[in-house]
Amino acid sequence: MKEADLIVEGGFVLPMNKKDSVLKDTSVVVKDGVIVDLLPVQKANAIYSAKERAGGSDYLVMPGFINTHTHAAMVAFRGLADDLPLMKWLKDYIWPRESRFVTADFIRKSLPLALAEMIASGITAFADMYFFQDVAAEIVREVGLRAVLGEGLADFPTPSFKNPEDGLRFSRKFIEDHKKDPLIIPALAPHAPYSCSPDLLRKSYELSREYNVPYLIHVAETKDEIEELRSKRGLTPIKYLDELGVLWERTVAAHMIWLGEDEFEIVKKRKVGVSHNPTSNLKLASGIAPVPEYLKLGVKIGLGTDGTASNNDLDFTDEMHLVALIHKVHRGDPTVVKAAEVVYMATRGGAEVLGISDTVGSLEKGMSADIIVIDLNRPHLQPLYEPFSHLVYALKSSDITHTIVRGRILYEKGSFRTLDIEKALFDMRELQKKLR
Ligand SMILES: [Zn+2]
C-alpha cells in the first residue's frame, strides 16, 4: 500500500480542467498538500492508505471557489449603511469610518470572521484590496487559506499611509517578504482610475511588472465614474488605463460594467482579467456587466463577492446563483451564461484571472489540493441529473461539508479546525461597540 495523507472520495468529481467534464466514483489522493492521483474509488482503495478521509459516494468533490475581489476585513461594516449610491456610500459612510477606525488591531479583530465566512462557503482562495496587509497575511497564513493581498493605494491618505509614496514603498517590501510564500500572493492594489493619479497608477504597474504579481483595481463600475474621468482626463477608463500602459495580463479589473463597443478588443488584446461581482453591482445599482460578451470573446473572467458592506455577505453560492440569473433576464435570453460556464468562472476561471491557474482551480495530478466536498444527500439536491445545474441553481453553502487548502482540512461538517470561531465572534462584538 502507498501512504497518502488524505483521500477525498466523490460519487461525482468535477476536475474543471475542461469546461464540463464529470468523473463518477472517483478518489482524489493527496500527499504533502498536492494531488498525487485521481482514480476510480475501488482502485484507490486497493493502492492507497490514508491518515484522513473525506466525502463518499453521496458527495460531490470539486476545486474550491476562488473569490477574485473582496475587501475582507470590511465585515466589521456589514449592514452599517445600506440603500445608498456608490459615491455617497463611500464618501459619507465608508471612507470616514475607515480613516478613523481601521488600524492593525481592527484587522486582527475583524478579518478572522471574514475568513470563517469564506471557508464555510467553500472559498479556498481570495483576492483582497485592503489595508495593513502584512497583518492580514499573518492571520491568513495561520488559518491556512490562500490569498492574493494588495495594500490599498490612493492619492488621499489611507488608514495605513499618509501618502501614496509610503504605500508604494510598503508594497515593494510586502512583495519581497512574501514572494516565496506558498499561501500568500502579494499584489499591487491601486484603488481606481478616479482615486489614483496617473503617476500612482503607473508606478504600481511598474512594481507589478517587476515582480510579476497581480495588479488589482476597480474599473468602470458606475456611469458617474465614466463621466467624471471623461471630464477630468478626456477618456473612458479602459482607454485611459490603456494609454497609461497599465493594462496587462496580471491586471485584475473588478466590475467592468460600462464599456464602449470598441473597448472589448482592448481588454482581450491586453489579456486583462475581469472580476464580476453581481451582488455588489445590483445592490449599488451600478449596472449589469456585459458577461455574455466576455464569455464569447474568451476574456478571462471570475466571480467576486466584493466587500460585505456592499453585498452584505461573503457567500459564494449566492454569487453563482445570481450570475446565472441576472444576465438571462437582462438579455431576455435564458440561454446565456450557462451553469457549466458559471462553475468554470467560480473555479478555474477565477484562478486564470488571478494568474494562479498553474497551482489551483482544477483537480489534476500535481495541482495543490484546494478542494471542497458537497453533501448531495439533501432534499434540494435530489434527484441529480446534472451536477453543474445543481451547483448553480440549487446549492446552499450549508451543503459544503469540507473546505481543504493545500491538503489541510480547514472546515469539516460545520467545525473550523484552524480558526477559533467563538473568539472571532467575540472580537467582532467588541469591535462593533467602537464603530457605532
Ligand atoms: Zn471593491
Q: 299 and 188 in one domain?
A: yes
Ligand 1 centre distance from Cα of residue 6 (Å): 36
3-state SS, residue 186: strand
- What's residue 339's pLDDT? 97
- What's residue 85's pLDDT? 82
365-378 pLDDT, tens digit each? 999 999 999 999 99
Q: How far is CA 163 from CA 104, 136, 139, 229, 321, in A?
A: 18, 21, 26, 22, 40
Check pLDDT > 80 for residue 58.
Answer: yes
Rounded Cα–Cα distance for residues 388 and 338 (Å): 9
Q: Which residue stretches of 39-124 are H helix?
A: 41-47, 86-88, 95-101, 104-120
Ligand 1 centre distance from Cα of residue 380 (Å): 32
Indicate the residue among 327, 354, 381 that finishes a domain.
354
Check pLDDT > 80 for residue 436.
Answer: no
Check pLDDT > 90 for residue 90.
Answer: no
Distinct helix (H) and strand (E) counts, the chain = 17, 16
Q: Which residue stretches of 82-235 are H helix?
A: 86-88, 95-101, 104-120, 133-143, 164-178, 198-211, 223-233
Q: Kindly report the backbone phi and psi dihedral angles of residue 252, in degrees, each rounded to the nearest multiple of 5, phi listed first.
A: -115, 105
Q: 347 and 224 in one domain?
A: yes
3-state SS, residue 342: helix
Q: Kindly report the backbone phi and psi dihedral angles of residue 152, in degrees, each rounded to the nearest multiple of 5, phi listed first.
A: -60, 125
Indicate the residue among 338, 354, 370 that finishes a domain.
354
Q: 403 and 373 in one domain?
A: yes
- What's residue 368's pLDDT? 98
Q: 384 and 412 in one domain?
A: yes
- What's residue 86's pLDDT? 79
Ligand 1 centre distance from Cα of residue 358 (Å): 25
Please enumerate in sequence order all residues whose Cβ is within 8 A of that of 186, keeping only pairs 6 or more positions apart, or say none. Answer: 133, 148, 149, 150, 171, 174, 175, 177, 178, 179, 211, 213
435 in any annotated domain: no
- The answer to which of 94-103, 206-215, 292-301 has the lowest mean pLDDT is 94-103
198-257 pLDDT, tens digit each? 999 999 999 999 999 999 999 999 999 999 999 999 999 999 999 999 999 999 999 999
Rounded Cα–Cα distance for residues 72 and 211 (Å): 24
Q: Which residue in 406, 376, 323 sits closest to 125, CA to CA?
A: 406
Q: How would residue 87 be classed by pLDDT, with cut points 50, 70 and 90?
A: confident
Q: 138 and 14 in one domain?
A: no
Q: Which residues does residue 7 pair with via DSSP β-bridges, in sequence order? A: 29, 53
Q: 369 and 297 in one domain?
A: no
Q: Which residue in 211, 274, 212, 209 sits closest to 237, CA to CA?
A: 274
Ligand 1 centre distance from Cα of residue 434 (Å): 24
16-29 pLDDT, tens digit each? 997 789 999 999 99
Q: 375 and 340 in one domain?
A: no
427 in any annotated domain: no
Query: What are the grid coordinates assigned to 153, written together?
Result: 493605494
Ligand 1 centre distance from Cα of residue 254 (Å): 7
- What's residue 174's pLDDT? 98
Angle at alpha carbon of residue 12, lines to 276 and 298, rounded to 5°? 30
Ligand 1 centre distance from Cα of residue 302 (Å): 14
Cα torsion 98, 188, 110, 347: sign: positive
173 in any annotated domain: yes
Domain extent for 206? 65-354
Ligand 1 centre distance from Cα of residue 341 (Å): 23
Q: 96 and 11 in one domain?
A: no
Q: What is the CATH number of the domain that holds 163?
A: 3.20.20.140
Q: 87 and 148 in one domain?
A: yes
312 in any annotated domain: yes
Ligand 1 centre distance from Cα of residue 17 (Å): 28
Q: What is the CATH number of the domain that holds 389?
A: 2.30.40.10
Check pLDDT > 90 for residue 309.
Answer: no
Ligand 1 centre distance from Cα of residue 192 (Å): 9
Going by their DSSP bridges, the two strands 123-130 and 146-153 should be labelled as parallel
Long-range contacts: 431-436, Cβ < 8 Å, 24+?
431/76, 431/106, 431/109, 431/110, 432/76, 434/101, 435/76, 435/77, 435/80, 435/97, 435/101
Q: Kindly report the backbone phi and psi dihedral angles of residue 2, in degrees, each rounded to the nearest multiple of 5, phi listed first.
A: -90, 140
Ligand 1 centre distance from Cα of residue 307 (Å): 6
Q: 10 and 150 in one domain?
A: no
Query: What are the grid coordinates assigned to 161, written together?
Result: 499611509
22 in any annotated domain: yes
124-152 pLDDT, tens digit each? 999 999 999 999 999 999 999 999 999 99
Q: Answer yes or no: are the C-beta atoms of 166 and 186 closer than 8 Å.
A: no
pTM over 0.85: yes
Indicate the residue among 334, 354, 374 that finishes a domain.
354
Q: How far is CA 6 from CA 3, 23, 54, 174, in A?
A: 9, 19, 8, 33
Q: 92 and 32 in one domain?
A: no
Buried b (16+ CB within 10 A) or exposed e, 52-73: eebbbebbbbbbbbbbbbbbbb
**Which residues are found with C-beta within 5 Å of the ion, ligand 1?**
306
Rounded Cα–Cα distance for residues 183 and 293 (Å): 33
Check pLDDT > 80 for residue 176.
Answer: yes
Q: 372 and 334 in one domain?
A: no
**What's the total number of domains in the chain?**
2
Rounded Cα–Cα distance for residues 5 and 49 (Å): 8
